[in-house]
Chain A
Amino acid sequence: MGSLQLKSIRKAYGGHEVLKGIDLEVKDGEFVIFVGPSGCGKSTLLRTIAGLEDATSGSVRIDGVEVGHVAPAKRGIAMVFQSYALYPHLTVKDNMGLGLKQAGVPKPEIEEKVGKAAGMLSLEPYLARRPAELSGGQRQRVAIGRAIVREPKLFLFDEPLSNLDAALRVNTRLEIARLHRSLKATMIYVTHDQVEAMTLADKIVVLNGGRIEQVGSPMELYNRPANLFVAGFIGSPQMNFIDGDKFGDGEAKTVGIRPEHIGLSRDGGDWKAKVVHVEHLGADTIVYLESDAVGPLTVRLFGEHRYAADDVVHATPVIGGMHRFDADGRVIDSGQ
């Protein structure tokens, strides 16, 4: 239990269409992440699934049941918000129990469920506190706890880590991954951070301009992007895009090579280039080049390398690391 079907969901505000026909199937127990640049409609889509926004047209089915006219509380969903959205005047315990109380669950049962969720998230010492007395990470754990307590068919996360600092973000990310494994629940998660998407998802849905660009597992999107947008969006640093003419390739308009699929040498190689800037990250070295043949290139080398600005080097693409795209931006083939 916990599947979701979206069929040609459209949403327009006045004349402005935010969602332009979304079809999607989420299987029971899957961790699906909506990712895309800001304004791509991913949050609107999540709110439509939650019932906080009505779709202009199209159907939302949860477990095969049409929920288009069902109130959010009756859809069997729970939602975690970016700004935590805890009730400021209630204690942690009451925050977590409010949904059940509204649904008329008897008190001992609420106590038990809240206790269990608090145990999972190590929130027991804070149950009597108010949200104002908690740190950001603790507040977000309470918000997650509030969702767990409801035992929903669908967990909806709306950029839950955006307000946390970097270290806490990694911890909470691990915690969410652990929860997904232990609860085996269906989770839908919205983020603009592709690292979160790659690390957490079973299935990533890349959205752009109100349309789905591609759906697939993280490695599918990385290895076989369906179009230029996905190729550019997934992976950091961004994929290098080179004009197809410069390869003498009649078919491909653009050729993409990931920065980690280019080798660098001082002695010789395909493209002679000058180093513009080097970023030393310890585990990686990112080298920005300006080559005469193919223009600017970003190269990611593993480990430490002693390149410096103004060095003259030679770059060579790794065999099997090229993605070719046609004039419409659609992929012709990957792995050339």
Chain B
Amino acid sequence: MSKARTSFARTGAVHFALIAYTLVALFPVFLTIANSFKSRNAIFREPLAIPTTESFSLIGYETVLKQGDFIGYFQNSVVVTVVSIALVLLFGAMAAFALSEYRFRGNTLMGLYLALGIMIPIRLGTVAILQGMVATNLVNTLTALILVYTAQGLPLAVFILSEFMRTVSDDLKNAGRVDGLSEYAIFFRLVLPLVRPAMATVAVFTMIPIWNDLWFPLILAPAETTKTVTLGSQIFIGQFVTNWNAVLSALSLAIFPVLVLYVIFSRQLIRGITAGAVK
């Protein structure tokens, strides 16, 4: 009896904490979406109210879609994010495999060196990166952004994936070698499917900062044809006047692609976990 009560109290406390955290985390998102459907006056009169028939307005979305090439911005963001994630996963997994699988001189040192980027923000090198991009004629191209984001995502990817790859059974890899699989086949066909949950984790961690980044698009690719969504929304924020309807609408729209990507990865994550459980 008392046991049941304490466990009820405990699960209650856990649920309370999680629900509270969820509310805190979701509140800004809710505010953004709710206000994006309101008229300008309504936003300022009652910022916390949900849109009613009186205050409802699509003026923000109309502005966003009329002004600038917003579809183009979306495309740029998606291309940059997806290609960067793909490259980070591919090269990160390859480096992680080498570090975890092969014994060579300087292995630990190389691992530390590759993980150093987790602690040192890539923005410290902005000036040098810009000079490099200018010298290689990559300014105002999506390639510049993809290169920078790949570099930015790799340290964490290598770190997480090499830890996971150490847990993949040696016997399995050796069985592959005895059966005549090449090291590439062992990597792609045996090891990668087994570390899929870790890959999904890395993908999510890599994706969010890239999608939300304003710094590098502003510096490396501010041209109209290469603008990302985050940069594109900035035209509505002025020094003196800010078009809040438009800003909030643009941000609401920007949430959805990233949400879709997240759902895809998280499903992989769950599938990976259950597949791994049966050994």
Interface residues, chain A, with chain B CB atoms under 8 Å away: 47, 50-52, 71-74, 77-79, 81-89, 98-99, 102-103, 132, 146, 158
Contact = CB atoms under 8 A, between A and B. Distances in A.
Contacts of A98: 179, 181
Contacts of A99: 178-180
B190 A78 contact: no
B172 interface: yes
B179 A73 contact: yes
A153 to B, nearest CB: 13
B68 interface: no
Interface in B149-187: 169, 171-172, 174-181
A79 B189 CA distance: 20
Nearest to A102: B180
B178, B190, B194: most-surrounded residue (chain A CB, <10 A): B178
A99 B169 CA distance: 19
A82 B178 contact: no
B170 to A, nearest CB: 9
- What is the interface of chain B mostly: helix, strand, loop, or mixed? helix
Contacts of A74: 180
A327 B171 CA distance: 42
A102 B182 CA distance: 9
A81 B174 contact: yes
Nearest to A98: B179
Contacts of A79: 174-175, 178
B193 interface: yes
B194 to A, nearest CB: 7
Nearest to A139: B279
Contact of A85 (B175, B181, B194, B278): B175
B178 A50 contact: yes
B278 A81 contact: no
A49 B189 CA distance: 25
Closest 3 CB pairs of A and B: A73-B180, A102-B180, A85-B171
Contact of B278 (A50, A73, A132): A132
B176 to A, nearest CB: 8
Interface in B196-214: none
A87 B172 contact: yes
Contacts of A78: 178
A84 B174 CA distance: 11
Contacts of B189: 87, 89
23 contacts: A50-B178, A51-B177, A52-B174, A71-B180, A72-B174, A73-B177, A73-B178, A73-B180, A79-B175, A79-B178, A81-B171, A81-B174, A81-B175, A83-B169, A85-B171, A86-B175, A87-B189, A89-B189, A98-B179, A99-B180, A102-B179, A132-B278, A158-B171
Nearest to A47: B174
A99 B178 CA distance: 8
B177 A52 contact: yes
Contacts of B275: 88
Interface string B216-236: 000000000000000000000
A244 to B, nearest CB: 46
A85 B194 CA distance: 13
Contact of B178 (A72, A83, A86, A88): A72
B172 A85 contact: yes
A82 to B, nearest CB: 7
A72 B171 contact: no
B209 to A, nearest CB: 32
Contacts of A103: 180
Contacts of B194: 88
A65 B190 CA distance: 31
Nearest to B275: A88
A85 B177 CA distance: 12
A74 B178 CA distance: 8
Contacts of A132: 278-279
A89 B191 CA distance: 11
Contacts of A89: 189, 193
Nearest to B173: A85
A87 B178 contact: no
Given A85-B175, A88-B194, A99-B178, 6 more contacts: A73-B177, A77-B178, A78-B178, A82-B171, A87-B189, A132-B279
